[in-house]
Structure 1
Amino acid sequence: MVETGTTIQTDKPDGLPLQRRIWAIVSVGFALCMSVLDVNIINIALPTLSQEFGTSPSATTWILNGYQLAIVISLLSFASLGEIVGYRKVFLSGIGLFCITSLICALSDSFWTLTIARVFQGFSASAITSVNTAQLRYIYPKRLIARGMGINAMIVAVSAAAGPSIASGILSVASWHWLFAINVPLGIIALVLGYKYLPRREERTKRKFDTISAIANALTFGLLIYTLDGFAHQEEMDLLAIQLIVLVIVGTYYVRRQLRQETPLLPLDLLRIPIFRLSILTSICSFIAQMLAMVSLPFFLQNTLGHSEVMTGLLMTPWALATLVAAPLAGYLVDRIHPGVLGSIGMVLLSTGLFLLSRLTPDSSEIDIIFRLILCGAGFGLFQTPNNSTIISSAPTQRSGGASGMLGMARLLGQTAGTTLVALLFSLIAPAQSTTLV
């Protein structure tokens, strides 16, 4: 082990041996799938939870919002912590807490118990997603890192898209409690495999954790998400104006503090790299587009076409299945086709599929819907793999945590913005028109 400047370097081999690598990938895959899936797996059960706990629909959404908000405000902090104490420690701690909070969620008998447990579940999911991509540099040999990105992108994309399908399947045979209970055995498997097989040798930075920046980060992104949600739900303008003023003050202080840091919590140093900055922006746009479809399409399928919740989940499945095929295929092709070209092809397919979805009518058949979703899913998978690979590979090795955190933040900001845009559009467009808008 060699210490140079502020970085502690380890004499690590080029990736893990094949057998150990496979089990490490399984651990990362299980943990990542759970953390991403639980962002929106609860959507379909929200009406049931509202009736069971006697809460209003708007209050019940905090079971979902609390989870996502916890991830947003803490993701960059956990990524920074991973660079200091090690990605493995942060990752395994996140899995352990996720198992505990999932069990509490499954056993909850009140709205507040479930909501608070979901917030802490969100923090544990943040620890998992903040460093999972950074670990790939130590799991895979350099020549196979793109394929590893493909597998990772596939897991994230499929998990994000398959939430309604998996939820409808579970709810068709069991109560909502099993939406959380299913995480416990999967989490234990991921924890045991991760403890045994994840790489222990990592390149770390020798610096102290910036607590003040972590607090400013949480306030900035928390206020940003809460204010966007307030605009979407047409809250009082006086309250929104106060939130905006506080956001500008705190956000300005946060950014100025980061500009003075050598390795900032908000990786402004990485955003100065043109290809990194461009890839992050396109990643945000892709997830905005995905959530616009994922959130609005169920309204069309149920309110206009009259499908049940279970049927809606099944009709949404082709997107996830197409991504399941396209993402690892892109990981194989990225060594043969320039990432920019491959990603552009994926984005064209995604844009074409979304445009065709917007042309659906009340007379559209199931085949019409499935074909469009396959096109979207294939394009989404072909884009995510080369784009994610570019984000991670363009950052210095010792800043892998910051790059991984920004990759996760791009996904979360895109998903949140997409969901908010749907709510805003539905509030502005007449109900008769909004049910046909996708």
Structure 2
Amino acid sequence: MPTPRRYLAIAAISLGTVLTVIDGQIAGVALPTIARDLKVDGSASVLVVTVYQLVLVMTLLPFSALGDRIGLKRLYQGGQLVFTIATALCFFAKSLPFLLIVRAFQALGGAAALSVMAALIRSIYPARQLGRGLGLNTVFVSVSAALAPTAGGAILAVAPWPWVFAVGVPFAILSLLLGRIGLPDVPPRGVGYDGLGAVYCILTFGLTISGLEASVHGGSPVVAGAIVGAGLIFAILLVRHELSEPHPIMPVDLLKLPVLALSATCALFAFVASMLLLLSLPFRLQHGYGFTPGEVGAMIAPWPFTTMFVAPTAGILSDKVPAGFLGGIGMAIATVALFLLAMLPAQPHWFDVAWRMALCGSGFGLFLSPNARLVVGSAPRTRMASAGGLISTVRLTGQTLGATLVATLLAMGLGEGRMPALIAMALTIVAGACSLARLNPALRRPSAGELESGAA
């Protein structure tokens, strides 16, 4: 895109990213207050977070396919409009059911925007600067996730909990206005929409994740197993159905390309590993070493803040250096850092944890931007919305699986020691191996049949 319109588009995308990520994270600090004001159990208030995450995972891929049909800008701005209205309605919630319904609509709007975000970034930046653009977007994701708890706590210190949601409305409106002027008008492809595939996709992710969550939160093992089993059956039906579709919801045509399949696989392992450590470490530091919540926050903060500087640098490098090489180095650094975290001394100083977290953040930052650039850049331009939806779905699925794994380890009495860091280390080793495998020239050059399939 020409400047200065490109800068307006970047501002709109960046602001939309910040709002969507913060809204998914900021509610966590308000849960005790919400439970007290709405007179519900604390366990019930957790649904305010889980409903948002679940709806996001269920609908990202169906929305990304819809973007090809109706246009990227139209879907992105439509999603932002739904998100803005739902965010405003959170301010008027007087009961938990109403709040959950509104949060579900927030997630729908967020999913519509996130599903085409990477595709829009590819349309905004020149091809030679795609890694830089995706790196900048990774920075906003990392900083937003890091600042969300602090921002939520600051708002709760001076205002009632509805303001945790309402404060984002003016910024959402600003993002809408900037996007109206600056976002590129990528024409729709005019292809058919795979409605049955969308239903299969929603049921696959919804049932599988709901069953896993139920199994670790005190639900009946038989019922939870049946729910997961039903989700796996729909997953099989989904894959079989999509293999015969010219315009699939689940991008099985892209996953036939070895380099994209490897990229999605290593990203999934990396996101599971990062969430596993980030959620388990506070329990270890508080219960095992006696640190206060404030000290724990200070020790964890170096991870996202290091990522904030490393990710854009890695994105710029990925425009010239193979993503497989950068990702392999990043996962090697993360593996060393996770081993050092697992082997903390008996009485660590806060700095002993902080520098290890900074090392971990640099490793993951070196991996994330080049990986996203390879996925979006390798997909045919007619399938870039699906490639972007794949990136977001893998990220959210990995984070959800990581959170479920933490809950399982805590239930087994293994979540407050070295075990989470050691498991995360094993996952980063696999992710690094998958990343280095992408350096094989035979995998980096798709065959003519694969290109034809991807272009379909």
What is the TM-score with the length of structure 2 in the denominator? 0.87
* Cα contact 2:334–2:361 (8 A) shared by 1: yes
Picking from 48, 55, 60, the partner of 2:33 is 48
* Cα contact 1:40–1:160 (8 A) shared by 2: yes
Give CA deviations for 1:75-134 in whole Å, capped at 9, x if unaligned: 011100101111101111111111111111133222222211111111111011100000
Matched ranges for 1:33-432 at <5 A: 33-200=18-185, 202-360=186-344, 363-429=347-413
Q: Which amino acid aligns with 1:40?
A: Q
Evaluate the alpha carbon distance shift between residue 181 and residue 261 of structure 1 in structure 2; reply closer, same or farther with a 3 A threshold.
same
Q: What is the deviation of 1:434?
A: 5.4
* Cα contact 1:357–1:372 (8 A) shared by 2: yes
Deviates more, 1:349-358 or 1:181-190: 349-358
Give CA deviations for 1:211-239 in whole Å, capped at 9, x if unaligned: 22211211111011111112222521221
What is the TM-score with the length of structure 1 in the denominator? 0.91
Deviates more, 1:68-77 or 1:111-120: 111-120
Q: What is the deviation of 1:203?
A: 4.6
SS in structure 2 opposite 1:18?
coil
Evaluate the alpha carbon distance shift between residue 102 and residue 309 of structure 1 in structure 2; reply closer, same or farther with a 3 A threshold.
farther
* Cα contact 1:168–1:310 (8 A) shared by 2: no
* Cα contact 2:275–2:399 (8 A) shared by 1: yes
Evaluate the alpha carbon distance shift between residue 298 and residue 170 of structure 1 in structure 2; reply closer, same or farther with a 3 A threshold.
farther
* Cα contact 1:223–1:243 (8 A) shared by 2: yes
Distance 1:241 1:342 in 2: 39
Distance 1:25 1:332 in 2: 16
Distance 1:299 1:48 in 2: 21
Q: What is the deviation of 1:316?
A: 2.6
Gaps of 5+ in 1: 1-15
Distance 2:333 2:418 in 1: 25
* Cα contact 1:161–1:294 (8 A) shared by 2: no
Give CA deviations for 1:358-390 in whole Å, capped at 9, x if unaligned: 233562221112111111111111110110000
Evaluate the alpha carbon distance shift between residue 54 and residue 24 of structure 1 in structure 2; reply closer, same or farther with a 3 A threshold.
same
RMSD across aligned positions (CA): 2.0
Deviates more, 1:137-146 or 1:241-250: 241-250
SS in structure 1 opposite 2:301?
helix
Residue 431 of structure 2 is matched in structure 1 by none
* Cα contact 1:103–1:181 (8 A) shared by 2: yes
Gaps of 5+ in 2: 422-456
SS in structure 1 opposite 2:319?
coil
Number of matched pairs: 421
Deviates more, 1:63-72 or 1:16-25: 16-25
Q: What is the deviation of 1:162?
A: 3.9
* Cα contact 1:164–1:316 (8 A) shared by 2: no
Q: What is the deviation of 1:307?
A: 4.8
Matched ranges for 1:9-24 at <5 A: 16-24=1-9
Deviates more, 1:326-335 or 1:151-160: 151-160
Q: Which amino acid aligns with 1:199?
A: P
Q: What is the deviation of 1:263?
A: 1.7
* Cα contact 1:150–1:331 (8 A) shared by 2: yes
Give CA deviations for 1:226-254 in whole Å, capped at 9, x if unaligned: 11112222521221232234223322222
Distance 2:84 2:272 in 1: 29
* Cα contact 1:162–1:320 (8 A) shared by 2: no
Residue 443 of structure 2 is matched in structure 1 by none
Percent identity over the alignment? Answer: 36
